Structure 1
Amino acid sequence: METFIAQTPFLQLACSCDNAVEAMSLIREQQPDIVFLDINMPNLTGMELARLLQEQPGPLPKIIFTTAYNHYAIEGYRVNAVDYLLKPFSYEEFLRAANKVLQMSEEAANQYHSVTADDEFIFLKVEYQWVRISLKDILYIESLKDYVKVHFEDAQKSVMSLISLKALEEKLPASKFMRINRSFIVPLEKINSISKNSIFINKTEITVGEQYKETFKTIVEKWLK
């Protein structure tokens, strides 16, 4: 399991436990997004732990059960498990289950705050907390596989969030931000200069992708009128 987690860019192992009692304490303390829960554990089963977690106040982690016995599947879904991995499972099966959680997180993020042209901020999940990001402070946004990196004027303050560039693009006001290639979104007001195929934000040159050129050209023509 730890090997699979290490192979997955959008997952980071917070902790691992040998029993459900220890797991419950750490889940309360660290509030992870996902818990991979083995049903067969000493003293308290994974299924019993899942029921206890549902009774606790605060946000619930997404649960993915792992077990060698398939007769627990129906019971697992009764406690709102995202998925159920039957041992031995492959990395492909593991990744498919983890991607379900990623998709659910992105959908929840989009519902959490719908940005309009008048809004001045968004919220992004950074590690284990929601962070308020002022739109006027964003220098540009870069895609890094399943994460985005938000760059600011102060390079030391950049943040990483587990969300796709497409999902973040949908959260941002189109009148202020534009995706200019597969990997970058830029705030239009931060563009310092434009060449034939690139834009410059401070000293950073970003190429305008082929499929985005016409839209970008239309915007530039409006500026030059």
Structure 2
Amino acid sequence: MKQKLKVIVVDDEPLARRGMLVRLADFPELDIVAECGNGDEAVQKIRDLAPDAVFLDVEMPGLDGFGVLKQLQQMQVTLPYVIFVTAYDHYALSAFEVQALDYVLKPVEKDRLSTAVNKLLKNFDARDDQRHKDQLAAVVAQLTGEQRDQILQRLDKAEPVMSDKYPEAISIKDSGEITRVPVTAIDWVDAAGDYMCIHTKDGQTHILRRTMKELEQELDPKLFVRVHRSAIVNVNTIAKLQMLANGEHQLMLTNGQAVKVSRSYKDRVKMVFNS
């Protein structure tokens, strides 16, 4: 069951306020967390309770409905959805100017209130869905290093958030040129400060400005294995795993290169030989 929306009812007329509470009780999606009889009380309750929505009377002595919103904005309080309740329809334009969700005329009719509540629920669902998308995009961006906007675009199109397709080549910019290095041509990679040194089968070394974590996430884990915090190796270039006299391990590649294996990655390397 979805969590109910927290609602506050604000009206300086006790009978009108009670009538609104009775009508809103017909909507199980709403949870009335407070009722207020004036604008100052409304500001305090909205600030303290952070409701999802407020049914706000426009005309009240002292601080009116518009004054409530102005004061909350000055206090930098996140505004809830606002549905104005008023006996005069000439307030409608002003209500929408302050980005109120809707306005309902007194005496409140059941059908008109139902329309306003349904509008509230739809808008909240849309905002809640967007919030979940933003959270998911942030997590995926942290995992993959991809831009959040690109992830959100896939979510909006109902496409898979994380693609299992890895690039066939890596583009490397250097001195105004872009070199396309096929992934299968990469023997191994090691880190040099803020740069990656990509060593290829033809004996060349390409310099790439990217973190090891970012590069690792771009490479197919079936083809590449992280063997050290500063080294990645193409599994097809591994000739043997050696244990050194000091108890450490190193890989010997088919090109004669020795690559140190750190203890934290040793088990991952051994899986290559067991697969």
Please give the TM-score of this superposition, normalised by the length of structure 2.
0.41
Q: Which has the larger radius of gyration?
A: 2
Higher relative contact order (CA 8 A, sep 6+): 1
